[in-house]
Amino acid sequence: MSMSNELTVVIPARNEEKLLPRLFLSLLRQDYRHIRDTKIYLADADSTDRTVEVARNFSRELNICVIEGGLPSVGRNNGARCADSRYLLFLDADIELGDCTLIRRTLEAMKKQSLHLVTTDILCPGGGILDGLMYGCNNAVQRLSRYHRPFATGMFMLFDRERFDALGGFDELALYAEDYQLSRLVDRRRFKVVRGGVHSTNRRFQKMGYWKVVRFFVRTAFRGGRAGYYRDPMHRAYWEMS
């Protein structure tokens, strides 16, 4: 396997023309020396803005290919099916990598410790105190999950490809929390949260309201063992407002 085929990046996106450039620029700043050769699949979910055009403009500097998307789980799986690499990095389109060493260090941890899934913290530099508290709680839960059932969000999930395939990928009928649903199946001894972080926004909190988001996640934590829960039509609102 050539080093350029070591990693594939998959980004599900819908109407992300404003935030997508931040992510691509942060990828270009990574000190992972193969980043410009690394295949990046942007799984577009019928965007009506300039999302696809933005991605194609950056293809001069990054190895970007636009493919068909849909629900986040569908877009992630479509990208994974196109990949021939040992590792798969799933990123959300509305984040940026806050640490220029993040991809390199995460891959090093995967190899040295034979991990199946690695994630990192979520930070919200442009948010307020409540936003920091919300993401801080999320980060604490991620770290504590190493002692029970792993929890990672789709903002940053580096998977061992073989293990990802063995788990069956993301549930394509899931309308919500497909990332949590899959991450909890990983052996906690093969899961790690690396220092650093990705920068996110508070737009979901602003659209849905802080306490509504909290209720979503609390219900998920208590009902996460039910496969049908993620497919409940009541969760379509979360996808549409994300």
Domains of the chain: 3-241 (3.90.550.10)
Residue 111's Cβ-side half-sphere holds a number of Cα atoms within 13 Å equal to 10
- Which pLDDT score is estimated for 231? 64
pTM of the full predicted structure? Answer: 0.90
Buried b (16+ CB within 10 A) or exposed e, 123-136: bbeebeeebeebbe
> Which residue positions in the chain have pLDDT lower than 70?
1-4, 216-242
Could you give the residue ranges of the DSSP H alpha helices within the chain? 20-28, 51-58, 72-82, 102-113, 129-144, 161-167, 178-183, 203-208, 210-223, 236-241
pLDDT at 236: 52
